Structure 1
C-alpha cells in the first residue's frame, strides 16, 4: 500500500505545473487559495473581464477540494432544522435552494468547458442502516412539495438487489446528484481561468499581507501582489496569516482508501454505479471508479494527525463488515486531507473588512456549497447580487481552539457510539 499518494493525482488528466510568483504584480482581485472556492470565484471574475491573480501555496487542488469523495449533491453539513433556527425558515429555504444551484453550477461548468475527464456519473444513494422507510418517504414528500425536487424511494428489497448486504434497509436515490473526479474538474477550471487572462501561481504561499489600506498587498517568498480586493479561500490549510479567519474554524482530517482492481469480486457486493452514503453521522461513503474496476471508500474523521495506514485498516474493516464477500479485496492506496469546519457547521462567506473577503468552512458537504460560495462572492464583487448575505447568521465565530478540537473529537466518538447502539437495537 502506498502513502500519501492519491488516486486523483495519479489519474489527473492535466499534469501542468505552474511557476511560483516572482516580482511584483498588480490586479483588481487577488484570490488566496487554489481550491474549488478560490477557482470558482476567479472563474466568474475572469468571465466578467476582471483581472485576477490566484496564489496557491502548493498546487491547484492540493487540499480537500481535489482529493475528496467526489460527491456533488444538495445540502449542508448540518441539518435543515438547525439552519432554520439560526436563519429563519424563509432564509433556510433560500439556502437550500442555493445548495441545489451549486450542484447545477458544477454540472453546467463541466458541460460548458467539456470536461470529459471529470468522469461524471449520475446518481447518489443515501441508505439507512436501520429499518425506517416511513421517515424517508416523509422527507421525499417534503422535498417534492417545498423544492419541486424529486428523490426516488427504494424499499429494502430494491436496496439489497443493488447492494448485497444485510446492513442496509431503505434508501433515497437522488438522480439529480452525481459524482466525479474532483481534481480533473478543478484543473480544467484553472486552465479556463488562464485562457481568460487570469494568472495562477503555485508554490506561492502568502507570508505576510497588508489589508487595511485601499491597496491590499500580499507578499510571497519572492513576490508581491497589489490588489484592490483580496479573497481568502484557504479552507483547512489556513495558516495564522489572518488570525480572525484561523480562529473561526477547526481543521478536521478525513480519510479515503482505494482498493485493488477486482471488478468481478466487486460485482458480488455492489451492483450499481450510484455513489453510496449511509445515514450515520460517523458514516461511510463510497463509489466505484475506473468503470467499476475499484472501490473508493471514505469515512472517519480525526482532529489530529493520524496514520493513513491505521485509518485505512479501519476503513477496510468497515467495508468488509458491510460486505463480508469483499474480504479478499486488498487496499492499494490511502490518503487523508484537511477540511475546515465552523462551530455552527455552515459555510463562512462574507466581507471581513472593506475589500477583504472570505469563503471557507465547507467541510463535510463541500463540492456543491464551495462552488456556490465562490459564485456568490464573485456576484458580490461584480455588484450583481448580495445573496452572500444569506450566510450572515453563520459568521466567523471562534471555534474554540484546542478545546474546540477536543470537543469535536469527543462528539465524533459519541456519535459513533450512538450509531453502534442504534444498529444493535434495530
Structure 2
C-alpha cells in the first residue's frame, strides 16, 4: 500500500486494497482526489443516490488528510478580522458558522458510521506563550455572544496543573473540539461510499482531462471516466492537470513526529488527554496517542520538504524547549506532508466552469473545512443550496509561483521573529 511510514499507517484498521482504473467507466460525477474533501463530496452524493467515481493517484488519505495532527475544531487558517475585511462582517459570521458545522459533520459521521477506529477524544486547549489573558477572555466572550459557542478560559495555574511547562500563560479550552485518527476515519468513509454503490480507484492518477463539453472525460494511464460533472479536490498534491488550480495554491510542508512508548515519562510533562496547540503562527501542536503511551508532536512549516533527520531535530528542539523533562524521550518516527495554501489563506470552493468544481486549499485547519467544503459542493450539485457562494470572495487567484513561495517563507520567518520577541518580553 502506497502510504508513507507514519503512525497512522502503522495503526491502520482497514487494509483494503482498491483496484486501479482500467477501461472506460461512466458515472454522474467523477471526483479527482481521495482525501477528506473528495470523499465527503462522494459520500453525500452517494447518499443521495447519484453514481460517483473517485480517482486517487496513490491510496485513500495519502496526502495531508491522512497524515495531519488529527485536530477537529472550528476556524480557518486566517483570522476572523481578515475574513471580514475580504468578505464583509455578515459573510464572515456565516463562514465561521460553516466551520463549526464542518467539525460537527465529522463528529456526526463518526457516530453514524460507528467509526470506533477513529478513536475520537474530546478537548482542545489553545495556549498563549506570553501574558495577555485579556485578549483570550474577549475572544471567548465574542464566541459565546456571536455563535453561542462556549470556550473555557484557563489561567496559568490551571494550565500548569496539567502541563508541566513554564512556557504557557493563558489558554482557552474548547470542549466541543476533538482529535482523532484521521486515516482510519477516511478509510471508513471510503468503505461507506462503496457500500452505497460508489467506486473508488487507487493508483489511478489523472493525467489528461477534457472538460469543455457536456460530458467530462478524465483519463488515467489505465482508463478513462466519462461523467456529467467533475470535482477536483487534490490539495497540496495537485499536479499540472488543471492550470488554474496549479497556479492558485502554494504547496507548504509541515512536520509531525511520534515518540517511543514511554507513558510514565510523558505523564511527567503532560497530564491531559486534550489536544494542545499554541498561539504562534505555525506553532506547536501535540497530543498523547496510543492510550497515553506515545506523544505525537507537530509544527513548523517550510516551502520545501526537509530531510527526516533535519525535521526531527527541529521538532525535538521545540518539544524539549517546552518540556525539558522530555529530553530523554526518543523519537520513533517522523514524517512530512504537503498542505495547499491560497494567497488569501482561505479555502477555494466553487464552479470553475459549467459542471467543473474545485474544493481545495485547506492548509492549516483542514479537518473541519475540508468536510464542510465537500458538503457544500455536494449540496450545490444536488440543487439543495448555494452556500458555496460564501467562498466567492476567495477565488482561484494566482499564488505567485516561485516568488510566492519565497514570500511565504520570508513571511513565516518574520512571524517567527515576532513570536520570539513577544515571548522574550513576557
TM-score by length of 1: 0.99
Query: Are 1:155 and 2:155 matched, yes or no?
Result: yes
**Shift of residue 4 of structure 1?**
5.0
Report the secondary structure of 2:161's partner residue.
helix
**Shift of residue 312 of structure 1?**
1.2
Matched ranges for 1:19-418 at <5 A: 19-418=19-418
In structure 2, what is the Cα distance between the partners aligned to 1:201 and 1:217?
15
In structure 1, what is the Cα distance between the partners aligned to 2:10 and 2:305?
23
Q: Does the CA contact (< 8 Å) of 1:258 and 1:334 recur in 2?
A: yes
Q: How many residue pairs get matched?
A: 424
Q: Does the CA contact (< 8 Å) of 1:255 and 1:308 recur in 2?
A: no
Q: Does the CA contact (< 8 Å) of 1:4 and 1:334 recur in 2?
A: no
In structure 1, what is the Cα distance between the partners aligned to 2:155 and 2:244?
48
In structure 2, what is the Cα distance between the partners aligned to 1:335 and 1:4?
8
Q: Structure 1, residues 277-306: CA drift from partner, whole Å, max 9, x if none?
A: 000113100000011100000001110121
Q: Structure 1, residues 163-219: CA drift from partner, whole Å, max 9, x if none?
A: 001100111000000000000000000000000000000000011010000000011
In structure 2, what is the Cα distance between the partners aligned to 1:219 and 1:260?
43
Q: Does the CA contact (< 8 Å) of 1:298 and 1:315 recur in 2?
A: yes
**Shift of residue 308 of structure 1?**
2.1
In structure 2, what is the Cα distance between the partners aligned to 1:273 and 1:109?
22
State the match for 2:10 in structure 1.
Answer: 10
In structure 2, what is the Cα distance between the partners aligned to 1:132 and 1:110?
36
Report the secondary structure of 2:29's partner residue.
strand
- RMSD (Å) for aligned C-alpha atoms: 0.8
In structure 2, what is the Cα distance between the partners aligned to 1:406 and 1:308?
22
Q: Does the CA contact (< 8 Å) of 1:23 and 1:223 recur in 2?
A: yes
In structure 2, what is the Cα distance between the partners aligned to 1:364 and 1:17?
29
In structure 1, what is the Cα distance between the partners aligned to 2:282 and 2:131?
18
Structure 2: 5+ residue stretches without partners = none
Q: Does the CA contact (< 8 Å) of 2:74 and 2:177 recur in 1?
A: yes
Q: Does the CA contact (< 8 Å) of 2:256 and 2:298 recur in 1?
A: yes
TM-score by length of 2: 0.99
Q: Does the CA contact (< 8 Å) of 1:282 and 1:419 recur in 2?
A: no
Q: Does the CA contact (< 8 Å) of 1:119 and 1:181 recur in 2?
A: yes
Report the secondary structure of 1:184's partner residue.
helix
Q: Does the CA contact (< 8 Å) of 2:305 and 2:336 recur in 1?
A: no
Q: Does the CA contact (< 8 Å) of 2:13 and 2:117 recur in 1?
A: yes
